[in-house]
Amino acid sequence: MPENCYRIGIDEAGRGSLIGEMIVGIAAVPCDVIGFIEETGVRDSKELTPRARSKLYRLLYREIPFITVPVKPVEIDSDNLGIVTKKAILKGLQLISKRISPLLVETITIDRFGKERNIRTGIRRLGYKKAEIRIEEKADKKYPEVSLASVIAKYIRDKRIAVINNLLGLNGSGYPSDEETMLSLAGKVSDNRIEKLDGYIRLSWSTVEKLGLKHAVKKKSKTLDNYF
C-alpha cells in the first residue's frame, strides 16, 4: 500500500426526486483512515437519521477531502439520467484532483448508477492511471468510503431542499413517494401559484403531468449556489 494513498468513494442523493437537484458526492478517504471511518458507524445514508448524518458530516468534513456536484432539474430533463450522472462524476473527479494527486488514488468505487459506458476511459483520462475502478451494486453498504460519499451527498441535498422549500413554500423531501411533498405541490396547483416552481422541478417526471404542471412551468436553470 503506497504511503498517503487514497480510496475514493462515489454515490448520489436525489436520483429519483421530483423537486431539486441530484447531488453526486465524492469522498477521498486516506487509506490509513478507513478503519476510523468504519468505527464512526458510517453506512448507507438511507439507514441513518438526519441527526446521525449531520453528526458524521460535522465530524469528518474538515478531515476528508470531498466534492459535491449538483445536477439541476433542467440537466436531468435534457438527457438520460445515467449520462448526466456520469458527467457529474467525471466533473467531481476532476475537481478533487486539484486537492489530491490522482496518482495516489488506490481505488475508485462507484455505487452502480446505470449508463456507465466509457466512464472508466474518462476516469483514466483525468490522470487516475493506477487506481482500481470498481462499479458495484450496493457499494454504499459494502465500502466505508462510498458510505461516506452517500452521507455527504444526502446531507448536502437535504440542506438544499430545505432552502427550496423555504423559497417556494413547499414541504417534504421532494420525492414523489412523499405524501407531504405531493400535497404541498397539489396546493400550489389548486391555488394557481405555480410560477415559482419554474426551474426547480423535473418536468420529464410523469408525476408532473399528473399534477397538471407540465405545460404551466417553463424550463429554466436555477441554482442554489448563492445559498451555500
pLDDT-derived band at 50 (thresholds 50, 70, 90) equals confident
pLDDT exceeds 80 at position 228: no
The answer to whether residue 43 scores a pLDDT higher than 80 is: no
Confidence of residue 214 (pLDDT cuts 50, 70, 90): low
Element (H, E) at 145: helix 144-168
Supply the pLDDT for residue 56: 81
pLDDT in tens, 113-144: 877 778 999 999 999 999 999 999 999 899 99
Predicted confidence (pLDDT) at residue 167 exceeds the cutoff of 70: yes
Confidence (pLDDT) at 24: 97
Q: How far apart are CA 23 and CA 15, in angstroms?
A: 8
- Tell me the domains of the chain and their CATH numbers: 6-160 (3.30.420.10), 163-223 (no CATH)
Residues 6+ apart with CB under 8 A from 48: 56, 151
Query: H or E stretch including 30?
Result: strand 22-30
pLDDT reported for residue 110:
97
**What's the rounded mean pLDDT across residues 24-44?**
86
Spatial distance between the Cα atoms of 152 and 143, rounded to a whole number of angstroms? 14
Stretch 22-45: mean pLDDT:
86
User: pLDDT averaged over the chain?
Assistant: 85
At residue 1, the pLDDT reads 44
Taking only the tens place, the pLDDT of each residue in 1-25 is: 445 899 999 999 999 999 999 999 9
Return the pLDDT at 69: 97
Q: What percent of the chain has pLDDT over 90?
A: 56
- Contact of 138 with 38, CB cutoff 8 Å: no
Q: Which residue has the higher pLDDT, 51 or 42?
A: 51
* Range with top average pLDDT, 6-20, 47-61, 114-128, 204-218: 6-20
The stretch 66-89 carries a mean pLDDT of 93
Outline where 3-138 has alpha helix (H).
34-39, 50-60, 73-78, 81-96, 119-125
